[in-house]
Copies of this chain bind each other. A is one copy, B any other.
Amino acid sequence: MYFSSIGTMGVKSGQRDAVISILTRSNPALADIGCLVYEVGGRDDDPNTVYVCEVWESEEAHAQSLELDSVKETIAEAMPLLTGDFGGYDFMVAGSPLRSE
């Protein structure tokens, strides 16, 4: 069952673009471990928040990705630029109108 994780993270003033560039740095290991969608971005009316939309082959694939050195390094690099204010939610995917299941 696919797993979708949606997140918002508060960033310190002026650091949004730096955080986005860290999170969007190419990382083929993510697809290798089962990441299907990983979109990062923001809103003009919310300059101190980075938004992330992820879809994984499974909840386990998502959990395993957090053990990858490359992901640990990405998180460690971005963390000092974050405020610690996290939001979002995750859910199990039941289906999609883009796939005839």
Measuring CB to CB, which residues of chain A are less than 8 angstroms from any residue of chain B?
2, 4, 6, 8, 20, 23-27, 30-31, 35, 37-44, 51, 53, 55, 74, 89-101
Contacts and interface: CB of A to CB of B under 8 A. Distances in A.
B93 A27 contact: no
A42 B92 contact: yes
Contact of A37 (B41, B55, B91): B55
Contacts of A92: 41-44
Nearest to A70: B97
A75 B25 CA distance: 37
B39 A2 contact: yes
A93 B4 contact: no
Contacts of A20: 94-95
